[in-house]
Structure 1
Amino acid sequence: MLELRQIRHRYRHQSLLDDVSLSVTPGQTVALLGASGSGKSTLLRIAAGLETPDAGQVHWDGADITRLPPERRHFALMFQDFALFPHLDLRDNVAFGLVEQGIRRAEARAQAEALLSRFGLGGRARERTTHLSGGEQQRVALARALITRPRALLLDEPFSALDAELRTQLQREFSTRIREAGMAAVLVTHDEAEARAMAERGWRLEGGRLRALW
């Protein structure tokens, strides 16, 4: 279980997160909604270990991981800007995390190609990411986030660049994979319909505090 306990964080001398607590069980998706600048992405970065809260703790299965570096948490964080490697083709972008885990490159590439095929990009596995549209880059980023089967999946507006049909398809795909893999997932989105389609619990972050929506 992923737990954020009494998180406090200031930004430019103003309180951004004020005593925020949140728990996500394995296989569950929790949605965070709120206005731009309300602190949703900051909360994800704290969960991922990319920022340290001013107060409070991050726990995984009861263990305090607040000071644990990001690479040892086994979480996946997907940003809005994709963060793909322009010098690698699609296959190696997706396979990168598996190779880092020690899986043989050939096996990692095979798994990457299979996942790209499920995302409708199997025939373009050898292309560079610079040749893709924004929506296609987002699909590659989604595949890369999923392939290592992280313990927790932290998603920041993951479907924002996709057309309606593909967005709905990937919402279903993600929901299925999250449940099957037993990942704890946090979804940041501005789209309440999307949040309700994917998440068992929904919260709105405003004024530095969480308010339950459902």
Structure 2
Amino acid sequence: MLELQSLHKTWQPTRGDTRVLLHNLNLTVRPGETAAILGPSGSGKSTLLKVLAGLEPLDAGCVRFNGEDITALPPERRHFALMFQDFALFPHLNVQDNVAFGLVEQGQSKREARTQAQDMLQRFGLGAFAQAKVWQLSGGEQQRVALARALITQPRVLLLDEPFSALDAALRLQLREEFSQRIADLNIATVLVTHDETEARAMGQRGYRLTDCALQVVW
């Protein structure tokens, strides 16, 4: 179970006054559950995901997983998966090796990791693109590669930043349903941030709006 307790985060621009992004923010996400967080650009949604991933330090508050305080743990020890809105794929690697990357980092052999990556790509309808470079794919295809890479390591927590923004309507609907099922099957606590309320309601068992630096319950 993921627990956020009284999170406080400020941002100091190069010029100007300090801006509060998160203030006394609390949230609990249970295994297999998706918490959807709505809010416009600049509201602090992406910053919240970076805090959870360990990429941004907190000014105050606590992040816990299964009762353990992980606030000070570096990203590689949290075993969380963060999928950025801009994919963050490696342009020098082919599609298969992009998906296999996390498994290799965990110590699996390249051969075994590539076999698992190929299986994952087949599930996402991308098996034929395994040897292609990621820059040869469309934006929607790149997004699916990023989704496959996020799931293959079976992370303890999944953090999604506008995961379907580059997909057409039909594929977006298909992947919402498929991804929601996989989250439930793997029993992963998931935090989804989006500006799209339809997407949030389709995937989130509970929904919040990030307003005035805190979360307000929507459903």
Structure 2 counterparts to residues 1-214 of structure 1, below 5 A: 1-12=1-12, 13-214=18-219
CA positional deviation for 1:97: 0.5
Cα distance in 2, alignment partners of residues 90 and 24 from structure 1: 31
1:39-78 CA distance string (max 9 Å, x none): 1111111111001111101100111100000000000000
Matched residue type, 1:108? A
Q: Which runs of 5+ in 2 are unaligned?
A: 13-17
Deviating above 6 A after TM superposition, structure 1's stretches of 4 or more consecutive aligned residues are none
3-state SS of 1:138 partner: helix
Q: Please, what is the CA RMSD of the aligned residues?
A: 0.7
CA positional deviation for 1:164: 0.9
Matched residue type, 2:122? S
- TM-score, normalised relative to structure 1: 0.98
Cα distance in 2, alignment partners of residues 60 and 181 from structure 1: 16
3-state SS of 1:103 partner: coil
Number of aligned positions between the proteins: 214
Does structure 2 retain, via aligned residues, the 8 Å contact 1:35–1:206?
no
Matched residue type, 2:165? S
3-state SS of 1:50 partner: coil
Greater alpha carbon shift after TM alignment, 136-145 vs 104-113: 104-113
Does structure 2 retain, via aligned residues, the 8 Å contact 1:151–1:183?
yes
Matched residue type, 1:6? S
Cα distance in 2, alignment partners of residues 170 and 105 from structure 1: 28
Cα distance in 1, alignment partners of residues 21 and 105 from structure 2: 34
Cα distance in 2, alignment partners of residues 184 and 143 from structure 1: 17
Matched residue type, 1:167? R
Matched residue type, 1:9? K
Q: Which runs of 5+ in 1 are unaligned?
A: none
Does structure 2 retain, via aligned residues, the 8 Å contact 1:6–1:55?
yes
Matched residue type, 1:3? E
CA positional deviation for 1:105: 1.3
3-state SS of 1:154 partner: strand
Greater alpha carbon shift after TM alignment, 103-112 vs 88-97: 103-112
